[in-house]
Structure 1
Amino acid sequence: MVSPPVKWGLRVLAVGYVFFLVAWPLALLVRQTFGNGLGNLVDALGDEQVTGALQLTAMIAFWAVVINLVFGVTISILLVRYEFPGKRVLSALIDLPLSVSPVVVGLALVLAYNGRNGLVGPELEARGVQVIFDSPGMIMATCFVALPLVIREVVPVLVEVGDDQEQAARSLGANAPQTFWRITLPSIKWGVVYGVVLSLARSVGEFGAVKIVSGNITGRTQTATLVVEQKYQNFQQETAYATSFLLILVSIACLLVVAFLRPKHDS
């Protein structure tokens, strides 16, 4: 048995760790954003550079989440329901984005898809498809860094629910699509939802890989995180604070929506 003083000490240590690492910096950011009331937010939303970057970020995050959702659920089912050579290697590769620096990811994409000397870039550019320094490369970079989030949320749920109901559905004549839509997907829906939320938050906040593949071209390939950096370096801290707050607000809103929509018996 752990004594009460030790329990309280551990609690204080945990709360203090989260406070100084997360809560305090975020509180200071909110304070700086609203130091002049709503003026900083209004000015930021009236800045065409900021609004354009926010729209581009939303577009990139949307496609990255959709792509990772489709492939994430597919790979999750493949890893849990099937046995095949190289399964452990595939499972290990999925975690690679969590251990590799996003800057390295961006550089690797440039080497592969650069239109001048990339491995496949010249062929794509000859057909009118530009990957690097354009939206496709930015979406690819964002997909890479957010790849594991859906999979690592869905795989444990698939393992927990098992495949008894799926086998029963198939024995009654259901085909693969019917089994997936009526049995598998409803049983893993909250794992999918949490994976999508985490993937969205990661996609919205991506910086390193996107900066490398985008070229940071103002008004064309500049995302919200890149605007924050530029505004801060140009001594426009108020706009940088306000833009950062908007990015944080997106992630918090996603978490709140999930918390309110999730049934109590699933918690």
Structure 2
Amino acid sequence: MTSNRLTRYVLRTIVLVYLGLLIVWPVSLVAKNAFADGVGTFVDSLTEETTAYAFQLTLIVAVWAVVINTVFGILISVLLVRYTFPGRRALSALIDLPLSVSPVVVGLALLLAYGGTNGWFGPALEDSGIQVIYATPGIIMATAFVSLPLVIREIVPVLTEIGTDQEQAARSLGANAWQTFRRITIPAIRWALVYGVVLSLARSLGEFGAVKIVSGNVVGQTQTATLVVEEKYQNFEQTAAYAASFVLAAAAVLALVVVTLLRPAHAESASTVGATLATPLPTEKDPA
């Protein structure tokens, strides 16, 4: 018994030291350097015109990316779990592509597809007065692409766990598809959806590689907060770079902390009900 307890303590210590050296200590150094010249300098760095615009653009892009990922994330999750069709397994694998491919590659792919000169759809879009690359739409597309799996991979396991009993009961009582979805499916996946949205938001706020390719990094026009960090640091404006980095990190951490604190009180009872009512989905041979 003593040996097992000692082993647990040793493992916990190793994990804590690892996380401290990899995450906590470096982030704390960013915070320390952000306020190294005082709060006044920190605030001035963030309220500088181009930096303020970059944060405004980042927020707009992140919100649109989260909205897109929420809508399509729910639809794709329901499609993967509730329906069997040729290519389902391939679609499931394809969804993880943004997690395995470098964001720079994603940006380059969007450039080749929607670029104004050599892109497949770019010339037609520009003839219609729509500019995607080197404009806000391209930044939103790149951000949504890299963060889409975060919503889906939170919802799919919950949909699988709860099964279809409640949905079938609702339909047998006369509920249509929309009523069943709104009153049964959404409440059952609400915390998975919230957590996926938060992760997607945090990822969207910090996206760099794909955005740098498709935005053109034009100061005051298509420059996001992460690009400001790079520019300020390369121009030896370290305080401004650290200040912007600190805000981005703090926003992501705050979102995760809030969800973590709120989730157990509500999610525990919901998960208990779901586990009680859920039945395993029938095993079906996937044509893919």
User: TM-score interval w.r.t. the shorter chain?
Assistant: over 0.9
* Partner residue, 1:37: 38
Q: CA deviation at 1:263?
A: 4.9
* Partner residue, 1:10: 11
Point out where structure 1 has 5 or more consecutive residues left out of the alignment: none
> What amino acid maps onto 2:160 in structure 1?
V
Partners of 2:266 and 2:255 in 1: how far apart? Answer: 20
> What amino acid maps onto 2:227 in structure 1?
L
159-168 or 250-259, which deviates more:
250-259
> What amino acid maps onto 1:241 in structure 2?
Y
Q: CA deviation at 1:257?
A: 2.5
Query: What are the superposed Cα offsets for residues 167-215 of structure 1, whole Å, 9 maximum, x if unpaired?
Result: 0000000001100110000010000000000000000000000000000
Partners of 2:33 and 2:8 in 1: how far apart? Answer: 36
* Partner residue, 2:100: 99
Displacement over 6 Å in runs of 4+:
none
Conserved in 1, the CA contact under 8 Å of 2:70 and 2:197? Answer: yes
Q: CA deviation at 1:5?
A: 3.2
Q: CA deviation at 1:10?
A: 1.3
> What amino acid maps onto 1:123 in structure 2?
A
Conserved in 1, the CA contact under 8 Å of 2:46 and 2:240? Answer: no
* Partner residue, 1:264: 265
Q: TM-score, normalised by structure 2?
A: 0.90
* Partner residue, 2:175: 174
Conserved in 2, the CA contact under 8 Å of 1:40 and 1:242? Answer: no
The correspondence of residues 99-118 of structure 1 with structure 2, limited to 5 A, is: 99-118=100-119
> What amino acid maps onto 1:256 in structure 2?
V
44-53 or 33-42, which deviates more:
33-42
* Partner residue, 1:153: 154
* Partner residue, 1:62: 63
Count of residues in correspondence between the two structures = 267
Is 1:230 aligned to 2:202, yes or no?
Answer: no
Is 1:135 aligned to 2:144, yes or no?
Answer: no
Partners of 2:248 and 2:220 in 1: how far apart? Answer: 18
Point out where structure 2 has 5 or more consecutive residues left out of the alignment: 269-288
* Partner residue, 2:214: 213
Partners of 1:108 and 1:265 in 2: how far apart? Answer: 41
* Partner residue, 2:85: 84
Q: CA deviation at 1:46?
A: 2.2
Conserved in 2, the CA contact under 8 Å of 1:150 and 1:195? Answer: yes
| Identical columns (%) | 63
* Partner residue, 2:249: 248
* Partner residue, 1:185: 186
Q: CA deviation at 1:249?
A: 1.6
Partners of 1:195 and 1:3 in 2: how far apart? Answer: 36
Conserved in 1, the CA contact under 8 Å of 2:65 and 2:141? Answer: yes
Cα distance change of structure 1 residues 259 and 144 upon mapping to structure 2, 3 Å threshold: same
Query: What are the superposed Cα offsets for residues 212-239 of structure 1, whole Å, 9 maximum, x if unpaired?
Result: 0000000000000000000000010001
Partners of 1:5 and 1:249 in 2: how far apart? Answer: 35
> What amino acid maps onto 1:165 in structure 2?
Q
Q: TM-score, normalised by structure 1?
A: 0.97
Partners of 2:6 and 2:253 in 1: how far apart? Answer: 34
Q: CA deviation at 1:107?
A: 0.5
Partners of 1:182 and 1:37 in 2: how far apart? Answer: 51
Partners of 2:257 and 2:14 in 1: how far apart? Answer: 26
